[in-house]
Chains A and B, each alone.
Chain A
Amino acid sequence: MEPGQDLLQKIIQGNEKSFTVAFDHYYPGLCFYANKFLHDRDEARSLVQQVFVDLWMKRHKLIIEQSLKAYLYTSVRNYTLDFLKHKLVESKYLKEAQPESATFDRDLIEEAELNARINSAIEALPAKCREIFMLCRFEELRYSEIAKKLGISIKTVEMQMGIALKKLRSKLTGNQNIQILLYIFSKNN
C-alpha cells in the first residue's frame, strides 16, 4: 500500500492530487509519531499540518536525497524538537525526543506506521463491532458497562470483542512488518 516512488517528484512539480494522496497516507502515522514526543494530540496534529504546509510551500527548493516518507518523518521530528525547545520544556520530554541512536528512531517510525495501520483496520471494522471495541479500548469501559450503555448482553460484548480481535489480527499479521515490530517490541521490553 506504499504510494509510488514518484510521489515526491510529482509534489515538487506542483501536482495537487499527489499532495493529497501523501497527506491521506502519511498524516495519521505522523500524528502518532509527533504525539510520542509531545504527549498532546492537538499539538501533534497542528505541528504535522505545518510540516505539510511547508512541504508544499517549499517544494521548489526541496532537494531529494531521501524518500518522501523519510523526509516527512525527519521533518516532524525536527519540528517537534524545535517546538519543545521553544517551549523550554527541557525535562523528560526533550530527553525522550532525542533518540540515542538511529535505530531507536527507526523503531519509532515503524511503530507509528503500525499504529496507523491498526487505526485503519479499526476503522474498517463493522460499525457495531467498532463501537464496542473503541468503548472498551479507549474509554476503558468494562464489558458490563458497555453492555449496559448499549442495551445489549455481556455475551454479545464478549463475542463482538472476539470478532474485533480476530479481524484485526488477520488483517495485520499477513503483513511482514508485524514480524519486524514483534522483534522491536520484544527488544524494548
Chain B
Amino acid sequence: MDNQVSDNDQQIVSVLSGNSSPSEIEKLQQWQNLSAENKKIYDDSVLIWGNCAKPLTKSEIEQDKILVQGRIIAQAALQHKRDRILLKFLRVAAILIGPIMLVAGFYVGNNNQQTKAMAWNTVTAPRKHIAMCTLADGTEVWLNAGSTLSYTASSQSDKREVKLNGEGYFKVTKNTKKPFFVITQQATVKVLGTTFNMKAYPGSEQIVTTLEEGSIELFVQKLTASAVRIKPGEQAIYNMKEGNIELKTVEAKQFSAWIGDKFLFKDADLKTIITELERLYDIKIYIKNPKLEKLHFRGMFSYDQDLLDAFETLRRSVKLNYTIKGREVWLE
C-alpha cells in the first residue's frame, strides 16, 4: 500500500515539475478521475508545489536575527544622544553603583525611523590573505584572514552600518551626523570618526576592541543595551561567558600589526598563538599536553613566513616539538 502511494507521488511530482511525457500526463489524469481520494491527493500536491517559494535558509534567518538585534542597539544608541541629560545622570548613577555598564533598556522609541530597505554586499578575506576595502563614505577597512565584512550598497542610506565576522581594522570617516555602526554577533560598536581594531571571531569567547584614536562606544548585544565608552589606547575585552567587560590600557598599534602583514605576540599564551596560526595557515593544531596551553610566549610571526619557520621559532624559544601530518600538527 505504501509503495502504491509512493508510485503515485512520483508520477504527480514528475508531472508538476515538467519531467513527464504527454502520455504520462494523460495517465495521471485518468488516475485522478478514479476516485475523490485520488483527486484530493493531486489537488493537495498542486497546492504544495505551487506555494513553495525559495525558502530562507536557517543561516539566513539567524543572520537576519543578529541584524535585528544590531539595529535595535544602533537605534537605542541614537536615542542616547537625544536623551543625553538622562544619560549623564545614568552615568553618574553607574559610577556610584560600581559596574561600568549602563543599562539603557528603558529608552522609549520615539523617532520615526524611515523604513529604508537595502541590499548587503559581502567582502571575505580568504585564508592566508588580508583584504582591504573602501566603503562609499570613504571609510577604510582591513580584514584579517578568513574574516567577512558585509555593508550596504547604497550610499544614500541614512545609516552607516556594517556587519563584521572575524577581525577588522577600521579607519572610519568622520561624520558626526551619521554615526557608523559595526555590528558583530555579540556586540556593536558605535563610531563617529576614528581608528580601531575589532576582533570578533565566531566561536570565540571574547570580543576584543582596541582603540587607536577618537572615541567609540561598545554595546553588548543584548536587547537592553549596555554601553561602554572606550578611550584612545584602551582595549575593551568583552567576555561572553561571564558577561563582563574588562577595560585596560594597551599599546594599540600592536593589535593592528596584522594589517602590515605582521603578526605580533606580546606575552600571549600558546592557546592564543595556536588559534592565530590555525587561521593564518589553514591548519589544525593539537596540543598533546593541555598544560602547555598556558605557556607564555613572546615573539613575532610574519604573514609571509613559511609555516615551518613559524614552528621553528616556537621550537627554539619554548622548546616545543612538533609533528606535521598533512594539514594537522601535533605539539608536545
Inter-subunit contact B43/A182 (CB<8 Å) = yes
Inter-subunit contact B224/A16 (CB<8 Å) = yes
| Segment of A1-9, A66-74, A161-169 in the binding face | A161-169
Interface size on A, residues (CB 8 A): 63
Q: Which residues of A contact B72 (CB under 8 A)?
A: 53, 56-57
Inter-subunit contact A166/B64 (CB<8 Å) = no
Q: How would residues 209 to 229 of chain B score, 1 for a CB under 8 Å from any chain A CB and 0 otherwise?
A: 000000000000011100000
CB distance from B12 to the nearest CB of A (A): 6
Q: Which residues of A contact B41 (CB under 8 A)?
A: 169
Inter-subunit contact B9/A165 (CB<8 Å) = yes
Inter-subunit contact B52/A122 (CB<8 Å) = yes
Inter-subunit contact B119/A43 (CB<8 Å) = yes
Inter-subunit contact A162/B7 (CB<8 Å) = yes
Residue of A nearest to B108 (CB): A60
Q: Which residues of A contact B118 (CB under 8 A)?
A: 42-43, 46
Q: Which residues of A contact B12 (CB under 8 A)?
A: 165
Inter-subunit contact A181/B222 (CB<8 Å) = no
Residue of A nearest to B16 (CB): A165
Residue of B nearest to A58 (CB): B109
Inter-subunit contact B65/A20 (CB<8 Å) = yes
Residue of B nearest to A57 (CB): B109
Partner of A50, one of B6, B9, B61, B71: B71
Inter-subunit contact A14/B224 (CB<8 Å) = yes
Q: Which residues of B contact A166 (CB under 8 A)?
A: 5-6, 9
Interface residues of A in 25-58 (CB under 8 A from B): 27-28, 31-32, 35, 38, 40-47, 49-50, 52-54, 56-58
Inter-subunit contact B55/A142 (CB<8 Å) = no
Q: How would residues 35 to 56 of chain B score, 1 for a CB under 8 Å from any chain A CB and 0 otherwise?
A: 0000001011101111111111
Residue of B nearest to A43 (CB): B117
Interface residues of B in 17-76 (CB under 8 A from A): 17-19, 41, 43-45, 47-56, 58, 60-61, 64-65, 67-68, 71-72, 75-76
Partner of B61, one of A27, A111, A138: A27
Q: Which residues of A contact B49 (CB under 8 A)?
A: 137, 165
Q: Which residues of A contact B76 (CB under 8 A)?
A: 57
Partner of A162, one of B10, B108, B116, B119: B10
Q: Which residues of B contact A24 (CB under 8 A)?
A: 61, 65
Q: In the assembly, what is the distance between CA of A19 and CA of B105, in Å?
A: 14
Interface centre among A32, A53, A54 (most CB of B within 10 A): A53
Inter-subunit contact A136/B223 (CB<8 Å) = no
Q: In the assembly, what is the distance between CA of A157 and CA of B13, in Å?
A: 11
Inter-subunit contact A53/B19 (CB<8 Å) = no
* Known contacts A56-B72, A58-B109, A168-B48; is-contact A42 B119 (Cβ 8 Å): yes
Inter-subunit contact A162/B9 (CB<8 Å) = yes
**A79-B115, A122-B52 given; 7 more Cβ-contact pairs under 8 Å:** A42-B120, A49-B71, A162-B6, A162-B9, A163-B6, A165-B10, A185-B50
